[in-house]
Structure 1
């Protein structure tokens, strides 16, 4: 059985799957699902290209809390096939996720690729480095090129399980960078046409001037 299904498909979940007719389908799928916590090449490459993710933790009151994290592509690093890490930058100073981790180290990460309608779910356990002897070296290794960003700590995530989600109902969305890449050939073509039109106008103007003389 896949490790993700082992953790996520509780008896009550299976009961609903049985009720709604999807249990047999997921039984077949689990035969080919990742059985361990080791991220393969596809998962590592996918994470390396992400510029954001969603992170869910569990509070002392039992309520889930979801937070969005963003940065340049590659800000979440695959340190080892079963270990992720990212710099925790100074923000609004609510520290809700941080407090939740003190209560329960379990975390769920959701990585989205909107243009290609793909998503990767990761379950793990958090290891926070802020005041220990390893913190300075970790902070230095995760320091972004933007020196104005203040790293308060480094958060490591020990992967427990992961799973790819189906693309159904993912609305394609594009960043400004992605839009620029798509329209770059069109922009170049328009610039070429503008240059050609400017040249033709000059030639027509010169010909008209000659004809008047």
Structure 2
């Protein structure tokens, strides 16, 4: 059954607070009339394929949530189809908190942020860790041959719902690659000016030597 983000996230306590603060009517319309947000469109797919990091949350058997950063080369998160994501679990500190939490509660929440464009996407879903012989095919599908990290397992996520979050209060930040791309025309112009200056200096020196 298709789910909207609100149907999963807006618990009775949340709805009560929305009512108290005047936003319930707006979100009620979103729940009843909005398009089910359980299948990715081309816009979400393109956005996800450009990410080089995200955060995801799991919940332990003791009820405590655990938030973890995941990163890799751009596109390390693979969009398998319009409701399935997968990414390689690179070898790390061997705490296994997220992996262990999924054994008792497979629900996950993810947030992806594009800082330069001040955009963020939230996803709710069910995740499982694929290991052993079953992981071979998944490792092939998620491996980046240009990234040398060792893969321990693959996480596969079935999307239940997603939502584009408000862009307010996102501070624009840029990666080294993004800065270099932006600065490239300026770098070329500086090189051109330096070359012209050098030619002028040589011409002045030549005229003075006569």
TM-score after normalising by structure 2: 0.95
SS of residue paired to 2:61:
coil
CA distance 1:44–1:202, change in 2 (3 Å): same
How many pairs are equivalent?
209
Deviations 1:155-186 (A, max 9, x none): 10000110000101111111111111111111
Root mean square deviation, CA, Å: 1.5
CA distance 1:32–1:42, change in 2 (3 Å): farther
Q: In the aligned structure 1, how far is the partner of 2:111 from the partner of 2:143?
A: 23
1:26 matched to 2:27: yes
Deviations 1:109-130 (A, max 9, x none): 1010010000000001012111
Q: Contact (CA 8 Å) 1:83, 1:156: kept in 2 or not?
A: yes
Q: In the aligned structure 2, how far is the partner of 1:97 from the partner of 1:7?
A: 21
Q: Contact (CA 8 Å) 2:53, 2:70: kept in 1 or not?
A: yes
Offset at residue 144 of structure 1 (A): 1.6
Q: In the aligned structure 2, how far is the partner of 1:179 from the partner of 1:10?
A: 42
TM-score after normalising by structure 1: 0.93
Q: In the aligned structure 2, how far is the partner of 1:4 from the partner of 1:191?
A: 51
Corresponding residue for residue 119 of structure 1: 120
SS of residue paired to 2:209:
helix
Offset at residue 25 of structure 1 (A): 2.0
Q: Contact (CA 8 Å) 1:87, 1:151: kept in 2 or not?
A: yes
Offset at residue 28 of structure 1 (A): 3.1
Deviations 1:134-157 (A, max 9, x none): 211211222222463100001100
Unaligned runs of 5+ in 1: none
Offset at residue 31 of structure 1 (A): 4.8
SS of residue paired to 1:62:
coil
